[in-house]
Amino acid sequence: MKKVLTIAGSDSGAGAGIQADLKTISSLGLYGTTAITAITAQNTLGVQRVDFVSATSVKAQIQSILQDIGADAIKIGMLGHEEIIEVVAETLLDYSSIPVVLDPVMVATSGDELTKSSATNSLIKNLFPLARLVTPNIYEASKITNTIIKSRNDIKEACIKISLLGAKNILLKGGDFKSEEATDLFFESENKTFETFTSVKIQTKNTHGTGCSLSSAIASYLAMGKTLVESVRLAKDYLFSAIKDAQEQKVGQGRGPVSHFWKNNFILAFFLFLSLSNQATEKFSKKSWNSIHSLYEKIYHHPFNQQLAQGSLDKKKFAFYKAQDAYYLHHYSKVLSLLASKMDNPKEMQEVLRFAGSVFSEDLSKTKIDIKDITPGNFAYTNFLLKTAALSTKEEIAAAVFPCFIIYGKLAEDLKKISVEDNPFQSWIDLYSSKKFAKDIEIMGAILDRLYQMANKETQKKMEDAYILSSHLELAFWEDSFTGKKLLDF
């Protein structure tokens, strides 16, 4: 079993420090051990007291762990003062093969100082050369470099300055900037290369312990054998999900912690879903299909589809439809990709990404269409899906994309029953009436049902509305494809 040693202070509120480290390490499936450097009286409102452990005790803890249990990576957090810093550096010299992630903790999220000002030089001198990665935030980088950081360019310059102080690699965390994105800058000193890691900034006050959690996640991935850049990327993804999952949770009166065990929440949600699914309540996919039955009948009996089944459809009309479909599916695949990016369940994310990659076939990708030839129905449909994907929740997006699945599958199944022999359009009918497509409908329907079951009443209503509107736009798509109406005809 892979092991990570965290050398850091204790947070009695359990949102940061070794408590956050152990939660992170455990949630990623590794074994966490500790060497405690300080005991803090701390909660979500701030730090009320700090008592440092003796340097002798810190050394004994580190030696006790490394001489018996060992470590595949080490994370260093709050050390506090020079004596502890020096003893940690001295002890780790005998274990130089173990990768070290140094989070130079100086100030808590609340603004309380956690490291004595006089200790900064000792930290730089003794530990920067030993660390595989140093992870300061904006405030810590300013203190280390004795400069004010106000811009992205200042961040780059700070990384270079920190590297000149002995740090091999730097991840300067820019999440404290007031912007819509959280951008961290990675700098590799040896090759003098930069890499940017950007994610959407989640608007929440529950960010206590983010620095501790990120650094211990990086250490955990290094322990698993990942490269440094890969470890940073995976740790960023982990922390993003932990913050997102904690958006609405209420712990204390101030800055609450992140949700370290967000992956476990998905497992609990899955079993809850299975429990709910076995109840007598009607599934959304079935209920919503019943609500558009009369609309589907109009699509089925539409001259385009009846002539398609009889093989009598004008081939120019079919070619016009295929061009419209190419435009639609090009955007539809983008919408599915955006839906996948918002999915919380990794397995469902993979399935939706698979759909996104498969709906736009190589044959369709060769079909070109000028924007002036798009039908009004097609334009309205694609715009509705794109707007929903950009501005709405995953629940609404899933409800908006599903009618295309179910209507095409049901239509092809019904048309196959009346299709004539040697039908020139048989390949289209066979594609959407295939067992593979039926399985995809089943999978997407199950995803939709789970999202509906977990949603509140307001979101459920939005899902119902999105489903019905998409279904009406399906009919408009068929109608305009048959009549040949073009957007610029109006």
331-340 residues labelled b (16+ CB within 10 A) or e (exposed): bbbbbbebbb
Q: Of 3, 75, 173, 410, which residue is the catalytic one?
A: 173
209 is catalytic: yes
Query: What is the rounded CA–CA span in Å between residue 448 and residue 131?
Result: 46
211 is catalytic: yes
Do residues 473 and 363 lie in contact, with contact meaning Cβ atoms separated by under 8 Å? no
Q: Does 445 qualify as catalytic in the annotation?
A: no
What is the spatial distance between Cα 336 and Cα 401, in angstroms, rounded to a whole number? 8
One of 33, 135, 207, 459 is an active-site residue; which one? 207
Catalytic residue among 15, 80, 175, 209: 209
Catalytic residue among 24, 34, 115, 210: 210
Collect all residues with Cβ–Cβ distance below 8 Å to 234 and sequence separation of at least 6.
Answer: 217, 221, 226
Residue 173 among the catalytic residues: yes
159 labelled catalytic: no
Interacting residues of 192 by C-beta distance below 8 A, sequence separation 6+: none
State the SS3 of the chain: CCEEEEEEEEECCCCCHHHHHHHHHHHCCCEEEEEEEEEEEEECCEEEEEEECCHHHHHHHHHHHHHHCCCCEEEECCCCCHHHHHHHHHHHHHHCCCCEEECCCCECCCCCECCCHHHHHHHHHHHHHHCCEECCEHHHHHHHHCCCCCCHHHHHHHHHHHHHCCCCEEEEECCCCCCCEEEEEEEECCCCEEEEEEEECCCCCCCECHHHHHHHHHHHHHHCCCCHHHHHHHHHHHHHHHHHHCCCCCCCCCCCECCCCHHHHHHHHHHHHHHHHCCCCCCHHHHHHHHCHHHHHHHHCCHHHHHHHHCCCCHHHHHHHHHHHHHHHHHHHHHHHHHHHHCCCHHHHHHHHHHHHHHCCHHHHCCCCCHHHCCHHHHHHHHHHHHHHHHCCHHHHHHHHHHHHHHHHHHHHHHHHHCCCCCCCHHHHHHHCCHHHHHHHHHHHHHHHHHHHHCCHHHHHHHHHHHHHHHHHHHHHHHHHHHCCCHHHC
Active site (annotated) includes residue 147: no
Catalytic residue among 15, 24, 212, 445: 212
Residues that are catalytic: 173, 207, 209-212
